[in-house]
Amino acid sequence: QVQLVESGGGLVQAGGSLRLSCAASGRTFSRYGMSRYAMGWFRQAPGKEREFVAAISGNAGSTYYADSVKGRFAISRDNAKNTVSLQMNSLKPEDTAVYYCAATGPYYTSSYSHRDHDYDYWGQGTQVTVSS
């Protein structure tokens, strides 16, 4: 199994920054190694569908961003520590949402996905609120 726990959410004014972190654990991760799993961040605002935010390949060689966050957000990972982070700068009120960390199966060493159905494991989410 895989467990994902997000942290770092909170309330910030527009233009501010937050850094989300996701800690991964579990026997599956230990067995295959985190470098075989792509990791992604998704978000869901009230009354809206969950949407893709950013993804990173298992070996951290490739990243991909939604157009709405490109140039403002940066995803990174530390496979030695089994963590993935999302640095969010120049935050806007429309970034307000619950942010979810997600992991694929162990087949994404050098690739990633922006599709939520490619992700097998999900965290509980962390709230990010950006005030205007």
> For position 6, what pLDDT does the model report?
97
Q: Decide: residue 53, CB within 10 A, 0-12 exposed, 13-18 middle, 19+ buried.
A: buried
pLDDT digits (tens, 9 = 90+) for 103-112: 999 999 999 9
- Given a cut of 90, whether residue 82 has pLDDT beyond it is yes
Rounded Cα gap, residues 33 and 85, in angstroms: 18
**Which among 58, 29, 53, 55 is positioned nearest to 43, based on CA atoms?**
53
> For position 53, what pLDDT does the model report?
98
For the residues 24-28, what does the mean pLDDT come to? Answer: 91
> For position 30, what pLDDT does the model report?
84
pLDDT digits (tens, 9 = 90+) for 38-73: 999 999 999 999 999 999 999 999 999 999 999 999
Provide the pairing of β-strand 126-131 with 10-13: parallel
pLDDT digits (tens, 9 = 90+) for 93-128: 999 999 999 999 999 999 999 999 999 999 999 999
> For position 29, what pLDDT does the model report?
82
> For position 28, what pLDDT does the model report?
83
- One-character DSSP codes across 105-130: -TT-SS-----GGGEEEE---EEEEE
